[in-house]
């Protein structure tokens, strides 16, 4: 049985923690501004997509900074920011258990059904 | 057990599966990436200084607006890269401290002075050109956040190189004095740009492992040769010369041969003895220290505002 050891550095920090800055070893990061994840909607009708992160004291500053850092060339028309500590992520080691079952349910896909050729508009 | 995991890690790399922050990775892979990405980020930040020097002295409003936009881009590139490095578990403050203490390096090219306006052209064409040559393969580097940051950087970098070439082209079609200025800038920036690709392959101990992990896709010498080949052609459009008497097309290899590189100078500049090492680091440290009260004030303001908001709700 293969064994994995994971280091949870990014995402999934847990409630009490304060983002990537927390795992610092130097102990000199008490004054660092919180880390925020930035999501941009590139145009009306599309989803917001994660683009990166930045530091800011609060949500307003995070949005203003995100505007300068991530949308200098019309990359977006809407910005979401969320403090990194609030992101919870699935564990890559659970990937098999979480995502594999989909493979053996071929009947979920339309190509599974063998129907006569003369049947149209379906 | 550790070996087993390393083997599985290597198999994923070989299958071109990108590594993401929460995936298991060898400690050495993590450390190599932290070093490379943070050095890269520091280079973008220090790289603002030689050009910032010319914003107030740009020859006209068009050039000034362009230079401002370019320097702002470099700040942005530094931030994309710091953010990518942070996913590996190092904090922003730690990286700053490594830069300010001299523990972390940045590209040695930024320790050269910018003496004339033509230097803005030479930096755009040669320094950004060399940077692009290095950066394009990094868009496919094995670590996901680094690769994604590099895609954004590369999109923006091509404007930098083109505006540089345009500056030199304008000067090259100007007066005799302007032509001399352009040639002088190329003379001073050519060799340091060639050195930007780093030590020769046989003196670059990290290259083999970095290639195996697909952090790097080409060796220093391969990229350097590509760059020389391209520049040797582009210089013809400027009707100026590259300051290398040995630069010559080689029919057999299909590449340009070029003269010996002064590696002693390269190592001296890396060791801190370049023309502007102290000046650059001092400027950076001063900016950080002078900004301390702003960072503290912003934190205090945010804290008070949150407290007021909490009181109102109570």
Of B1, B79, B299, the CB nearest to A69: B79
**Count of structural domains within chain A:** 1
Pairing of strands A78-83, A48-55: unpaired
* Rounded distance between C-alpha atoms, residue B137 and residue B139, angstroms: 5
In the prediction, which pLDDT does A30 show? 57
Query: In 3D, which of B78, B136, B72, B40 has the Cα closest to residue A73?
Result: B72
Percent of chain B with pLDDT over 70: 99
Please indicate, yes or no, if residue A98 is contained in any of the structural domains: no
**Count of structural domains within chain B:** 1
Of A9, A28, A61, the CB nearest to B88: A9
Please indicate, yes or no, if residue B114 is contained in any of the structural domains: yes
In the prediction, which pLDDT does B41 show? 97
| pLDDT tens track for B243-292 | 999 999 999 999 999 999 999 999 999 999 999 999 999 999 999 999 99
Contact B79 A6 (CB under 8 A): no
Give the tokens for residue B261: 């590189």
Q: Is A100 exposed, middle or buried (0-12, 13-18, 19+ CB in 10 A)?
A: exposed
A35 touches chain B (CB under 8 A): yes
Domain containing A83 — which CATH number? 3.10.20.520
Domain containing B75 — which CATH number? 1.20.1260.10
Please indicate, yes or no, if residue A104 is contained in any of the structural domains: no
Please indicate, yes or no, if residue B286 is contained in any of the structural domains: no
Residues of chain A found within 8 Å of residue B301, distances taken between Cβ atoms: 57
Contact A10 B89 (CB under 8 A): yes
Please indicate, yes or no, if residue B289 is contained in any of the structural domains: no
Contact B89 A9 (CB under 8 A): yes
pTM given for the model: 0.88
Contact A31 B299 (CB under 8 A): yes
Contact A5 B5 (CB under 8 A): yes
A1 touches chain B (CB under 8 A): no
Of A33, A51, A73, the CB nearest to B299: A33
Please indicate, yes or no, if residue B215 is contained in any of the structural domains: yes
From A105-109, B192-196, B234-238, the region with the lowest mean pLDDT:
A105-109
In the prediction, which pLDDT does B158 show? 86
Please indicate, yes or no, if residue A96 is contained in any of the structural domains: no
In the prediction, which pLDDT does B219 show? 94
Of A20, A91, A92, the CB nearest to B91: A20
* Rounded distance between C-alpha atoms, residue A84 and residue A91, angstroms: 16
Q: With bands split at pLDDT 50, 70 and 90, how would you rate the model's confidence at A101?
A: low
Answer whether residue A108 shows pLDDT above 90.
no
Q: With bands split at pLDDT 50, 70 and 90, how would you rate the model's confidence at A7?
A: very low
The alpha-carbon gap from B305 to the nearest alpha carbon of chain A, in Å, equals: 10
The alpha-carbon gap from B97 to the nearest alpha carbon of chain A, in Å, equals: 9
Domain that holds residue A54: 2-88
Task: Spell out the residues 6+ positions from residue A108 whose beta carbon is closer than 8 angstroms to its own.
Answer: A102
**Contact present, B101 and B141 (Cβ < 8 Å):** no
In the prediction, which pLDDT does A11 show? 43
Please indicate, yes or no, if residue B164 is contained in any of the structural domains: yes
* Rounded distance between C-alpha atoms, residue B150 and residue B132, angstroms: 10
Which whole number is the average pLDDT over B129-145? Answer: 96
Per the prediction, chain A carries an average pLDDT of 78
Please indicate, yes or no, if residue B283 is contained in any of the structural domains: no
From A81-90, B66-75, B135-144, B172-181, the region with the lowest mean pLDDT:
A81-90
Contact A91 B302 (CB under 8 A): no
Q: What angle do CA A33, A36, A37 make, to 5 degrees?
A: 160
| pLDDT tens track for B284-302 | 999 999 999 999 999 999 9
Please indicate, yes or no, if residue B39 is contained in any of the structural domains: yes
Answer whether residue B110 shows pLDDT above 70.
yes
From A84-98, B26-40, B121-135, B179-193, the region with the lowest mean pLDDT:
A84-98
Query: In 3D, which of B209, B211, B229 has the Cα closest to residue B219?
Result: B211
| pLDDT tens track for B24-58 | 999 999 999 999 999 999 999 999 999 998 999 99
* Rounded distance between C-alpha atoms, residue A71 and residue B30, angstroms: 29
Contact B295 A31 (CB under 8 A): yes
Residues of chain B found within 8 Å of residue A55, distances taken between Cβ atoms: 92
Residues of chain B found within 8 Å of residue A92, distances taken between Cβ atoms: 20, 22-24
Q: With bands split at pLDDT 50, 70 and 90, how would you rate the model's confidence at A17?
A: very low
Domain that holds residue B219: 1-274
Please indicate, yes or no, if residue B311 is contained in any of the structural domains: no
* Rounded distance between C-alpha atoms, residue B103 and residue B85, angstroms: 16
In the prediction, which pLDDT does A8 show? 39
Asked if ipTM goes beyond 0.90, one says no
From A28-42, A51-65, B9-23, B227-241, the region with the lowest mean pLDDT:
A28-42
Answer whether residue B18 shows pLDDT above 80.
yes
Please indicate, yes or no, if residue A103 is contained in any of the structural domains: no
Interface of A with B in 70-109 (CB under 8 A): 72-73, 89, 91-92
Which whole number is the average pLDDT over A11-20? Answer: 37
């Amino acid at each position: 049985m293969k064994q994995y050891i994971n280091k949870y550095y990014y995402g999934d920090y847990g409630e009490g923690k304060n983002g990537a800055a927390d795992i610092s070893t130097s102990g000199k990061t008490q004054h660092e501004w919180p880390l925020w994840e930035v999501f941009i909607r590139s145009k009306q009708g599309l989803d917001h997509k994660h683009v990166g992160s930045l530091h800011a004291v609060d949500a307003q500053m995070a949005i203003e900074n995100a505007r300068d850092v991530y949308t200098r060339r019309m990359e977006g028309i809407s910005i979401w920011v969320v403090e990194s500590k609030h992101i919870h992520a699935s564990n890559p080691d659970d990937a098999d258990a979480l995502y594999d079952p989909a493979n053996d349910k071929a009947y979920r896909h339309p190509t599974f059904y063998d129907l006569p050729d003369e049947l149209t508009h379906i | 057990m550790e070996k087993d995991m390393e083997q599985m890690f290597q198999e994923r790399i070989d299958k071109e599966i990108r590594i993401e922050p929460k995936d298991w990775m060898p400690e050495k892979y993590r450390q190599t990436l932290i070093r490379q990405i943070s050095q890269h980020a520091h280079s973008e930040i220090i790289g603002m200084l030689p050009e910032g020097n010319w914003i107030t002295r740009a020859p006209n409003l068009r050039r000034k607006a362009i230079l401002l936009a370019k320097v702002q881009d470099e700040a942005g590139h530094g931030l994309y890269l710091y953010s990518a490095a942070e996913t590996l578990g190092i904090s922003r403050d730690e990286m700053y401290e490594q830069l300010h203490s001299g523990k972390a390096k940045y590209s040695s090219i930024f320790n050269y002075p910018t003496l004339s306006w033509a230097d803005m052209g030479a930096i755009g064409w040669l320094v950004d050109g060399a940077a692009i040559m290095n950066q394009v393969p990094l868009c496919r580097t094995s670590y996901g956040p680094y690769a994604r940051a590099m895609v954004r950087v590369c999109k923006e970098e091509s404007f930098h190189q083109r505006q540089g070439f345009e500056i030199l082209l304008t000067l090259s079609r100007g007066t005799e004095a302007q032509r001399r200025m352009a040639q002088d800038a190329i003379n001073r920036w050519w060799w340091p740009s060639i050195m930007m690709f780093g030590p020769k392959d046989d003196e670059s101990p990290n290259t083999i492992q970095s290639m195996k992990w697909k952090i790097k896709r080409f060796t220093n010498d391969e990229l350097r040769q590509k760059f020389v080949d391209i520049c040797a052609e582009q210089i013809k459009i400027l009707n100026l010369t590259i300051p290398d008497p040995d630069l010559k097309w080689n029919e057999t290899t299909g590449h340009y041969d070029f003269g010996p590189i002064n590696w002693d100078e390269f190592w001296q500049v890396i060791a801190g003895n370049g023309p502007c090492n102290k000046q650059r680091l001092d400027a950076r440290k001063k900016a950080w220290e002078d900004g301390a009260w702003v960072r503290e004030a912003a934190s205090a303001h945010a804290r008070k505002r949150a407290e007021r908001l909490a009181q109102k709700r109570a």
